[in-house]
Amino acid sequence: MEQTAQVNTKYRRQRVVNGRLRNRVVDVRHQEENPVDNKEQTLPRYQFAGFWMRLWAFLLDSITVFALNGMLIYPLLTITGIGEWITIASYSGEALLSALVFFLYFAIMTKKYGQTIGKMVFGLRVISKDGDELSWSQIIFREGVGRFIHQIFFLLQVLYVAVAFTAKKQGFHDMIADTYVIHEREEV
């Protein structure tokens, strides 16, 4: 009889650690005494995407943007000749329109789907820190301001490496926009 009561107060929980399934027996009585732990367990747990997965997704997105520019911008500029007329500072019309396509691709895909084509292929998703839907201000800071700062100063591209060393795998552009990049797959 005593053994039955003990079995009812424990349950078996599965969790994934470093890609391996771990079984753990958890004592329910301990959880009831400590309500803070229960709240933390109800929060979703994310597996943050590391540097290499994000790099491969970004390279695939770069190929996609290059293809879009090749199909849309370059033929338009060749036919109309507008690229030669437009220059701002030392940037040609071609460079400005290509940068616009780059920004719009990342901004629209991230806002609409929470991921770009590269992130879709590799199973990654951009989420808000508080779990809400991504806002336009977050998108503009992440994709516009953050990437602009990385691109404008060559040495600041080294900041992308911060993804490998921060606890939640955030780059500079993630930090200023309060976002994370996570793996989409559900925890078993």
Q: Is residue 188 part of a domain?
A: no
pTM given for the model: 0.69
Q: Is residue 114 part of a domain?
A: yes
Percent of the chain clearing pLDDT 70 (strictly above): 70
Identify whether residues 104 and 16 lie together within a single domain.
no
Per-residue pLDDT, 172: 84
Highest mean pLDDT among 90-99, 137-146, 154-163: 137-146
Per-residue pLDDT, 61: 96
Write out the two tokens for 26. Answer: 């958890």
Q: Would the pLDDT of 167 be above 80?
A: yes
Q: Is residue 159 part of a domain?
A: yes
Identify whether residues 102 and 28 lie together within a single domain.
no
Identify whether residues 32 and 80 lie together within a single domain.
no
Identify whether residues 15 and 100 lie together within a single domain.
no
Per-residue pLDDT, 138: 93
Q: Is residue 97 part of a domain?
A: yes
Identify whether residues 142 and 120 lie together within a single domain.
yes
Higher pLDDT residue, 86 or 131?
131
CA dihedral 154, 160, 161, 167 (to 10 degrees): 150
Q: Would the pLDDT of 116 be above 90?
A: yes
Identify whether residues 67 and 144 lie together within a single domain.
yes
Higher pLDDT residue, 19 or 126?
126
Per-residue pLDDT, 159: 75
Identify whether residues 20 and 74 lie together within a single domain.
no
What single string gives the DSSP state of each residue in 12-59? Answer: EEEEEETTEEEEEEEEHHHHHH-HHHHHHHHS----B--HHHHHHHHH
Q: Is residue 38 part of a domain?
A: yes
Q: How confident is the model at residue 83 (pLDDT cuts 50, 70, 90)?
A: low
Contact between residue 126 and residue 179 where contact means Cβ atoms under 8 Å apart: yes
Q: Is residue 15 part of a domain?
A: yes
Q: Is residue 12 part of a domain?
A: yes
Per-residue pLDDT, 84: 66
Q: Is residue 151 part of a domain?
A: yes
Write out the two tokens for 167. Answer: 């606890």
Higher pLDDT residue, 153 or 56?
56
Percent of the chain clearing pLDDT 90 (strictly above): 35
Q: Could you tell me which residues come within 8 angstroms of residue 48 by beta carbon, excluding any fewer than 6 positions away?
A: 168, 169, 170, 180, 181, 182, 183
Q: How confident is the model at residue 2 (pLDDT cuts 50, 70, 90)?
A: very low
pLDDT tens for 13-27 read 455 555 555 444 444
Identify whether residues 62 and 102 lie together within a single domain.
yes
Per-residue pLDDT, 75: 86
pLDDT tens for 37-72 read 444 444 467 899 999 999 999 999 999 999 999 998
Range(s) of the domain holding residue 27: 2-42
Identify whether residues 31 and 115 lie together within a single domain.
no
Identify whether residues 66 and 123 lie together within a single domain.
yes
Identify whether residues 126 and 178 lie together within a single domain.
yes
Identify whether residues 21 and 96 lie together within a single domain.
no
Burial class (CB in 10 A: 0-12, 13-18, 19+), 124: buried
> How many domains does the structure of the chain reveal?
2
